[in-house]
Amino acid sequence: MRHPATRTAVPRQSSGPPPGPADAFDRFNSAPSAEAEAALLGCCGSHRWAERVAAHRPYPDLGALLAAADEAGYDLPPTDLAEALAAEVSPGLHPAAPPSAHLALRAAHAAYECRFGHVFVICLDGFGPTEQPDQVLAGIRARLGHEPDHERVVAADEMRRIARSRIIDLVSRP
Protein backbone atom coordinates (compact mmCIF):
# COMPACT_ATOMS: atom_id res chain seq x y z
CA MET A 1 0.00 0.00 0.00
CA ARG A 2 1.13 3.49 -0.69
CA HIS A 3 2.78 5.26 2.23
CA PRO A 4 0.62 8.15 3.52
CA ALA A 5 3.41 10.63 2.73
CA THR A 6 2.93 9.99 -0.99
CA ARG A 7 -0.68 11.19 -0.94
CA THR A 8 -1.46 14.65 -2.23
CA ALA A 9 -3.57 16.85 0.00
CA VAL A 10 -5.94 19.53 -1.21
CA PRO A 11 -4.41 22.76 0.10
CA ARG A 12 -6.33 24.83 2.64
CA GLN A 13 -7.62 27.98 1.00
CA SER A 14 -8.49 30.09 4.03
CA SER A 15 -7.04 31.03 7.38
CA GLY A 16 -8.80 31.03 10.72
CA PRO A 17 -9.59 28.28 13.19
CA PRO A 18 -8.17 24.84 12.48
CA PRO A 19 -10.33 23.06 9.93
CA GLY A 20 -12.43 20.06 10.86
CA PRO A 21 -13.67 17.16 8.74
CA ALA A 22 -16.48 19.23 7.21
CA ASP A 23 -13.93 21.88 6.19
CA ALA A 24 -11.74 19.25 4.49
CA PHE A 25 -14.75 17.87 2.64
CA ASP A 26 -15.78 21.37 1.54
CA ARG A 27 -12.21 22.13 0.39
CA PHE A 28 -12.23 18.95 -1.68
CA ASN A 29 -15.59 19.86 -3.23
CA SER A 30 -14.50 23.40 -4.09
CA ALA A 31 -10.89 22.77 -5.14
CA PRO A 32 -9.97 23.38 -8.77
CA SER A 33 -10.34 20.22 -10.85
CA ALA A 34 -6.60 19.70 -11.27
CA GLU A 35 -6.06 19.85 -7.49
CA ALA A 36 -8.96 17.50 -6.76
CA GLU A 37 -7.71 15.04 -9.40
CA ALA A 38 -4.18 15.17 -7.96
CA ALA A 39 -5.56 14.48 -4.48
CA LEU A 40 -7.64 11.60 -5.81
CA LEU A 41 -4.61 10.11 -7.57
CA GLY A 42 -3.20 9.63 -4.08
CA CYS A 43 -6.23 7.44 -3.39
CA CYS A 44 -6.17 5.42 -6.61
CA GLY A 45 -3.50 5.71 -9.31
CA SER A 46 -5.86 5.63 -12.29
CA HIS A 47 -6.10 8.99 -14.05
CA ARG A 48 -9.47 8.10 -15.60
CA TRP A 49 -10.84 7.16 -12.15
CA ALA A 50 -9.57 10.41 -10.58
CA GLU A 51 -10.96 12.53 -13.43
CA ARG A 52 -14.34 10.83 -13.23
CA VAL A 53 -14.67 11.20 -9.45
CA ALA A 54 -13.49 14.83 -9.53
CA ALA A 55 -15.82 15.71 -12.40
CA HIS A 56 -18.95 14.86 -10.40
CA ARG A 57 -18.25 17.33 -7.60
CA PRO A 58 -19.71 18.82 -5.52
CA TYR A 59 -20.86 15.84 -3.51
CA PRO A 60 -23.59 16.38 -0.93
CA ASP A 61 -21.90 14.11 1.61
CA LEU A 62 -19.22 11.49 2.13
CA GLY A 63 -21.59 8.65 1.26
CA ALA A 64 -22.24 10.12 -2.19
CA LEU A 65 -18.51 10.62 -2.77
CA LEU A 66 -17.76 7.01 -1.78
CA ALA A 67 -20.58 5.70 -3.98
CA ALA A 68 -19.19 7.65 -6.95
CA ALA A 69 -15.68 6.33 -6.23
CA ASP A 70 -17.00 2.77 -6.07
CA GLU A 71 -18.92 3.17 -9.32
CA ALA A 72 -15.86 4.60 -11.07
CA GLY A 73 -13.80 1.70 -9.69
CA TYR A 74 -16.25 -0.91 -10.93
CA ASP A 75 -16.08 0.61 -14.41
CA LEU A 76 -12.26 0.58 -14.67
CA PRO A 77 -11.15 -1.16 -17.85
CA PRO A 78 -8.11 -3.47 -17.55
CA THR A 79 -5.66 -0.80 -18.71
CA ASP A 80 -6.82 1.63 -16.03
CA LEU A 81 -6.69 -1.08 -13.36
CA ALA A 82 -3.13 -1.84 -14.49
CA GLU A 83 -2.29 1.88 -14.17
CA ALA A 84 -3.75 1.96 -10.63
CA LEU A 85 -1.86 -1.19 -9.62
CA ALA A 86 1.38 0.19 -11.06
CA ALA A 87 1.07 3.18 -8.73
CA GLU A 88 0.89 0.97 -5.64
CA VAL A 89 3.71 -0.20 -3.41
CA SER A 90 3.64 -3.68 -1.91
CA PRO A 91 2.79 -3.69 1.78
CA GLY A 92 5.87 -4.31 3.88
CA LEU A 93 6.96 -4.84 7.45
CA HIS A 94 8.14 -2.51 10.16
CA PRO A 95 11.93 -2.12 9.87
CA ALA A 96 12.37 -3.67 13.33
CA ALA A 97 10.77 -6.96 12.22
CA PRO A 98 13.12 -9.95 12.20
CA PRO A 99 15.22 -10.36 9.03
CA SER A 100 13.63 -13.75 8.38
CA ALA A 101 10.18 -12.12 8.25
CA HIS A 102 11.43 -9.56 5.72
CA LEU A 103 12.88 -12.36 3.57
CA ALA A 104 9.66 -14.39 3.72
CA LEU A 105 7.56 -11.39 2.75
CA ARG A 106 9.92 -10.41 -0.09
CA ALA A 107 9.77 -13.97 -1.44
CA ALA A 108 5.98 -14.03 -1.24
CA HIS A 109 5.70 -10.67 -3.04
CA ALA A 110 8.12 -11.84 -5.73
CA ALA A 111 6.12 -15.03 -6.30
CA TYR A 112 2.89 -13.05 -6.55
CA GLU A 113 4.34 -10.45 -8.93
CA CYS A 114 5.86 -13.18 -11.10
CA ARG A 115 2.52 -14.98 -11.36
CA PHE A 116 0.24 -11.97 -11.90
CA GLY A 117 2.50 -9.20 -13.25
CA HIS A 118 1.61 -6.58 -10.66
CA VAL A 119 2.10 -5.81 -6.98
CA PHE A 120 -0.04 -7.48 -4.36
CA VAL A 121 -2.67 -5.16 -2.92
CA ILE A 122 -4.79 -5.76 0.14
CA CYS A 123 -6.96 -3.49 2.24
CA LEU A 124 -5.89 -3.85 5.86
CA ASP A 125 -8.64 -1.76 7.43
CA GLY A 126 -9.68 -3.25 10.74
CA PHE A 127 -6.34 -4.93 11.39
CA GLY A 128 -3.86 -3.54 13.89
CA PRO A 129 -0.21 -2.99 12.98
CA THR A 130 0.85 -6.25 14.62
CA GLU A 131 -1.77 -8.24 12.67
CA GLN A 132 -1.03 -6.73 9.27
CA PRO A 133 2.08 -8.75 8.33
CA ASP A 134 0.25 -12.02 8.98
CA GLN A 135 -2.73 -10.80 6.94
CA VAL A 136 -0.47 -9.84 4.03
CA LEU A 137 1.34 -13.19 4.03
CA ALA A 138 -1.91 -15.15 4.38
CA GLY A 139 -3.50 -13.08 1.62
CA ILE A 140 -0.61 -13.64 -0.79
CA ARG A 141 -0.55 -17.37 -0.08
CA ALA A 142 -4.29 -17.72 -0.59
CA ARG A 143 -4.41 -15.60 -3.72
CA LEU A 144 -1.43 -17.28 -5.42
CA GLY A 145 -3.83 -20.15 -6.15
CA HIS A 146 -6.20 -17.92 -8.13
CA GLU A 147 -6.44 -17.99 -11.88
CA PRO A 148 -5.21 -14.67 -13.38
CA ASP A 149 -8.71 -13.53 -14.43
CA HIS A 150 -10.10 -14.21 -10.96
CA GLU A 151 -7.15 -12.48 -9.29
CA ARG A 152 -7.72 -9.36 -11.42
CA VAL A 153 -11.27 -9.19 -10.02
CA VAL A 154 -9.98 -9.66 -6.45
CA ALA A 155 -7.21 -7.06 -6.93
CA ALA A 156 -9.74 -4.58 -8.37
CA ASP A 157 -11.99 -5.08 -5.35
CA GLU A 158 -9.04 -4.54 -2.99
CA MET A 159 -8.13 -1.35 -4.90
CA ARG A 160 -11.70 -0.07 -4.46
CA ARG A 161 -11.54 -0.79 -0.72
CA ILE A 162 -8.14 0.90 -0.41
CA ALA A 163 -9.38 3.94 -2.39
CA ARG A 164 -12.42 4.26 -0.10
CA SER A 165 -10.18 4.27 2.96
CA ARG A 166 -7.86 6.86 1.43
CA ILE A 167 -10.78 9.08 0.40
CA ILE A 168 -12.13 9.02 3.94
CA ASP A 169 -8.69 10.04 5.18
CA LEU A 170 -8.40 12.73 2.49
CA VAL A 171 -11.67 14.47 3.30
CA SER A 172 -11.43 13.97 7.08
CA ARG A 173 -8.02 15.35 7.92
CA PRO A 174 -7.45 18.98 8.89
> In sequence order, what DSSP letters do the residues of 20-75 get, joined into one string?
-HHHHHHHHHHS-HHHHHHHHHTT---HHHHHHHHHTPPPSSHHHHHHHHHHHHHT
Q: What is the DSSP string of 136-163?
A: HHHHHHHHTTS-HHHHHHHHHHHHHHHH
Q: CA distances (Å), 45 to each of 73, 80, 86, in order?
A: 11, 9, 8
**Side-chain half-sphere CA neighbours of 52 within 13 A:** 18
Q: Spell out the domain ranges in the chain.
A: 4-83+161-172, 90-158
pLDDT digits (tens, 9 = 90+) for 39-68: 999 999 999 999 999 999 999 999 999 999
Length of the chain measured in residues: 174
- Considering the chain, what percentage of its residues have pLDDT values greater than 70? 88
pLDDT digits (tens, 9 = 90+) for 129-168: 888 888 899 999 999 999 999 999 999 999 999 999 999 9
pTM summary value:
0.83
Residue 135 burial class via C-beta count within 10 angstroms: exposed 0-12, middle 13-18, buried 19 and up: middle
- Average pLDDT of the residues in 18-34: 83
Q: Quick check: 132 and 91 in contact, CB under 8 A? A: yes
Average predicted confidence (pLDDT) for the chain:
86
Q: Quick check: 35 and 11 in contact, CB under 8 A? A: yes
